[in-house]
Structure 1
């Protein structure tokens, strides 16, 4: 039996990968985050599959479900759905560590992360030639796990790179305060809440007015804050990728 950590995507049921969908269709047990998983997604599971909402479970209780299923070994597939993509803010690292200790096999199927779905909603590429070629995906810290030393918003902002800030919408004033000295009040900002879902909300503004917009819209969770000049970039050169001057006989990866 193998535990499959599956990226469920940002919310829309049809944004799961084909591989993830097919694994759900074969599972005997599916553990899912109830507050984040659309019911349409669970419809891919077989009728006889046992569905377990992990919203109120502790880490130990979740792992116990997985280890118990491994011991029973009645079906080769156990699905562990994770919102977005398992590689970012999914809390799978501690689950994997415990499965390693218990000798339970597992695999990971990627999904569409929230920031990617939000960028699609904005119809923006987050890496624009000569404007911004890097993206920092980070979060703020209040009651959650402390940020590592050196990983502060102001430290990232000092580079001037594009930021995608998670878990910061409830502290939007503090976020703005930390970023203003580095980006300036006219820096473009976009907020996307509940990306790809029916309740999707999009706000566009600058560091000077985005906090007021967020409070007026009543946003308090499930939002990504983007900060950077790529958000309104227009006068930038075309990418070298499709330029006439590029030698198309060159080997892939040699750009």
Structure 2
């Protein structure tokens, strides 16, 4: 069996209980060495064989899985955050399907959740933003034209932008071209939930300047939108005394906000 496991956003204790159990039982671990906190490997047993996939190709990774499976061993493929987001797991699973090797998938805490926790931020605020767009700038890996930053910016939803720290001047330009004002609140969160986490509140127009000033060149998320700071939002209906739910009758007229 191969277990795909989300390691969480950084802090070793943010791995799920199930993910930790899989690591404790694993005979082989292949982990994303450039992104996963190595402290998480302390959960493995002494006889576990550990591979750093930062130095491996897809073919190398599959070869290790095949050999472990042939020897009756359990493998954990340990990805950063939750591997359903930019985790490149589908290509691994498809090959395992072809080879009739069983696998499952244990979710993790994504970096976009870790970034929100770093800022004590709620992405979805009534009358401000009820949608979160998770995307990235194109680099060596292309992005479909219909999913351009400009087209998403037109919605004025909350945006969380991965894998784009080295392109912030261009990111700002595209966000503004798409409809955001240069003064729209923004945040840069570096290594969310890691011991060396850093966070900076800025604006769409000052993303590049803020990153340069603080020597942030990689491993950061950008958060865009009025949910970041200072927006005047409506009170949630769920806990409004004037709002009837399945479990509670309205008791008074809401004063609102």
Deviates more, 1:233-242 or 1:125-134: 233-242
How far is 1:148 from its partner? 1.6
Alignment of 1:200 onto 2:197: yes
Contact persistence 1:32–1:53 (CA under 8 A): yes
Normalised by the length of structure 1, the TM-score is 0.93
Correspondence for 2:60: 61
How far is 1:98 from its partner? 0.5
Contact persistence 1:8–1:84 (CA under 8 A): yes
Correspondence for 2:252: none
Structure-1 separation of matches of 2:34 and 2:165: 18
Alignment of 1:215 onto 2:209: no
Alignment of 1:123 onto 2:104: no
Alignment of 1:25 onto 2:24: yes
- Unaligned 5+ segments in structure 1 are none
1:170-189 to structure 2, matched below 5 A, reads 170-181=166-177, 182-189=179-186
2:147 is paired with a residue of what secondary structure?
coil
Alignment of 1:107 onto 2:104: yes
How far is 1:196 from its partner? 0.9
Contact persistence 1:131–1:233 (CA under 8 A): no
Contact persistence 1:191–1:224 (CA under 8 A): yes
* Alignment RMSD (CA, Å): 1.4
Correspondence for 1:136: 133
Structure-2 separation of matches of 1:137 and 1:89: 10
The equivalent position to 1:226 in structure 2, one of 219, 223, 226, is: 223
1:95 is paired with a residue of what secondary structure?
helix
Structure-1 separation of matches of 2:90 and 2:217: 27
Structure-1 separation of matches of 2:204 and 2:60: 42
2:145 is paired with a residue of what secondary structure?
coil
The equivalent position to 1:98 in structure 2, one of 95, 111, 118, is: 95
Structure-2 separation of matches of 1:31 and 1:125: 34
How far is 1:249 from its partner? 2.8
Structure-1 separation of matches of 2:232 and 2:123: 15
How far is 1:250 from its partner? 5.8
How far is 1:233 from its partner? 3.9
Moved over 6 A (4+): none
Q: Deviations over 1:183-225 (max 9, x none)?
A: 1111001000111112211111112222211111111110000
Correspondence for 2:3: 4
Correspondence for 2:151: 155
1:96 is paired with a residue of what secondary structure?
helix
Deviates more, 1:130-139 or 1:204-213: 204-213
1:183 is paired with a residue of what secondary structure?
coil
Structure-1 separation of matches of 2:168 and 2:245: 46
Structure-2 separation of matches of 1:200 and 1:39: 16
- The aligned length equals 247
Contact persistence 1:204–1:210 (CA under 8 A): no
